[in-house]
Amino acid sequence: MLLAGDGREIPIDNGAAPIRLSDGELFGVVLVFRDATEQRQSAHARAWLASIIQSSNDAVISKTLDGKITSWNPAATRLFGYTPEEIIGQPITKIIPTELHDEEEYVLARLRRGEQVNHFETMRLTKNGKRVEVSLTVSPIRNDDGEIVGASKIARDITERKQTEQILREADQRKDEFLATVAHEMRGPLAPLRHAAAIVCRAEHARPEVQKACGIIDRQLGQLARLVDDLLDVSRAGTGKLHLNKEALDLGELVDNVQSSLRSQFEASHQELVVASPVGSAYVLGDRIRLTQVFANLLQNANKYTPKGGRVTVALRQEQKDAVVIISDTGIGIPAAMLDRVFDLFAQVEHSHERTRGGLGIGLNIAKRLVELHDGHIEARSEGEGRGSAFVVRLPMFEREE
Ligand code: ADP
């Protein structure tokens, strides 16, 4: 170390040589001080990097472009079982299952083009023949001239993550089976109940209090039947059993039928149901029953989440090759953070002043799945709480051959 005039300590490499006169007598000495700051810094950076790699929890391996292993960190030893002495110099295919050797060719080809391979999920082989699931990130290593001379590979053990995913998938499947069983079992008693209620109500039609009770029974049973049907749909969708019977149909006519069948419900809630004129017609290839279900659900939601005196508007328009139905309301609105999430299963917005309005939070999830099965798109819009909402359904129009 040398002390500079300004007090800085400068790391140096030094050397010394004697100066002799022609007769060989020692005359003096040349001292050479070389500033070694840069050299020390890069040695420090190298040591720093090496210690990061040594302590990494991910296996870090490097190899030549013909697939010979050139370095192997302690995490690689933990994951694959080989010590550096055993594996360095060996072909990388030692840790690749035979049937995946082609995969290595694909990775090497990408590396030669200078490309990186990110989070590539695959299988590797340990020293004792066990298979481990890994996520690989492989990047090219270049020399000072920029030529690709090898590759560094980071392997993360994802066995545990994959197992957790499998457990979650199985739990999800059991949930779908449970929902299907519950819905089936509940559906059974509903039809005879409605039938029996209808008989009782017809027989006693003269007495007003019985008639009132009958109305309640009928409405509540209807509500229960809808919930049960929704549950069945959710479990069908979960198991990929939601099938459509598509036909060419006029979306304008369908939407018009839906709104007129629900008109009395809006009148009873003292809401105005407006049809933006003219609804017009637009042909789509769709399932009549399922599309009716989608728009009835959106209109019933608009009715449910709009206070007395509010207005709900239905509009249909054509945009390029799409038929677009917009159902907007002047109701309680949806906070921005919930606009996408209202389509999640069992999602319900918590409103500070609203009591819960019944429902399971599955209607919009089914609506979205149904719209997507029609190659369409559904979106919620709102300026925020208390400022109304709009649901926009976009379906590709059916191009009829002339
Ligand atoms: P729910 O049975 O709860 O109505 P949905 O899946 O139909 O279930 O709707 C999910 C949630 O989205 C509702 O609980 C409600 O919070 C919100 N939501 C749906 N439609 C509207 C609307 N028109 N205005 C305000 N909020 C709505």
From the list 302, 340, 323, the residue with the least C-alpha distance to 398 is 323
CB contact at 8 A, 275 and 266: no
Give this prediction's pTM: 0.64
Residue type (1 letter), 284: V
In which band, very low, low, confident or very high, does the pLDDT at 257 lie, cut at 50, 70 and 90? very high
Q: Above 80 in pLDDT, residue 344?
A: yes
Report the relative pairing of strands 26-35 and 69-72 from DSSP bridges: unpaired
Q: Average pLDDT of 256-279?
A: 90
**Interval 132-186: pLDDT, tens:** 999 999 999 888 888 888 899 999 999 999 999 999 999 988 888 888 888 888 8
Q: Above 70 in pLDDT, residue 277?
A: no
Which of 297, 339, 342, 355 maximizes ligand 1 atoms within 8 Å of its Cβ, making it the mutation to test the pocket? Answer: 342
Q: Give yes or no for residue 335 CB within 6 A of ligand 1.
A: no
In which band, very low, low, confident or very high, does the pLDDT at 240 lie, cut at 50, 70 and 90? confident
When computed from its CA atoms, the radius of gyration of the chain, rounded to whole angstroms, is: 36
Which of ligand 1's atoms lies nearest the C-alpha of 331? 24
Q: Above 60 in pLDDT, residue 355?
A: no
Residue nearest to atom 11 of ligand 1 (CA): 348
Q: What DSSP designation does 193 have?
A: H
Q: Distance between CA 373 and CA 185 in Å, rounded?
A: 27
Residue with tokens 């933006």: 276
Q: DSSP E strands: which ranges in 54-194?
A: 59-64, 69-72, 117-125, 131-142, 148-157
Residue nearest to atom 16 of ligand 1 (CA): 349
- What pLDDT is recorded for position 278? 67
**Interval 291-306: pLDDT, tens:** 999 999 999 999 999 9
Q: Above 80 in pLDDT, residue 194?
A: yes
Q: Distance between CA 365 and CA 342 in Å, rounded?
A: 8
Residue nearest to atom 21 of ligand 1 (CA): 301
Residue nearest to atom 25 of ligand 1 (CA): 333
**Interval 3-53: pLDDT, tens:** 777 887 877 777 788 888 888 888 888 888 788 778 888 888 888 888 888
Q: Distance between CA 125 and CA 92 in Å, rounded?
A: 11
Maximum Cα interatomic distance, the chain, rounded to a whole number of Å: 144
CB contact at 8 A, 79 and 132: yes
Highest average pLDDT, of 40-44, 73-77, 207-211, comes from: 73-77
Which of ligand 1's atoms lies nearest the C-alpha of 349? 16
**Quick one: tokens of 66?**
């013909």
Give the distance (Å) from ligand 1 centre to CA of residue 359: 9
Q: Give yes or no for residue 301 CB within 6 A of ligand 1.
A: yes
Q: Above 80 in pLDDT, residue 358?
A: no
**38 φ, ψ (degrees, to nearest 5):** -65, -45
Residue nearest to atom 23 of ligand 1 (CA): 302
**Interval 360-380: pLDDT, tens:** 788 999 999 999 999 999 999
Q: Distance between CA 125 and CA 132 in Å, rounded?
A: 6
Q: Give yes or no for residue 328 CB within 6 A of ligand 1.
A: no
Which of 233, 338, 348 maximizes ligand 1 atoms within 8 Å of its Cβ, making it the mutation to test the pocket? Answer: 348
Q: Average pLDDT of 199-211?
A: 77
- What pLDDT is recorded for position 296? 95
Residue nearest to atom 2 of ligand 1 (CA): 359
- What pLDDT is recorded for position 27? 82
Which of ligand 1's atoms lies nearest the C-alpha of 364? 6
Which of 299, 300, 328, 364 maximizes ligand 1 atoms within 8 Å of its Cβ, making it the mutation to test the pocket? Answer: 364
Which of ligand 1's atoms lies nearest the C-alpha of 329? 23
Handedness of CA 294, 300, 305, 309 (dihedral sign): positive
In which band, very low, low, confident or very high, does the pLDDT at 61 lie, cut at 50, 70 and 90? very high
**Quick one: tokens of 156?**
């993360």
Q: Average pLDDT of 70-93?
A: 95
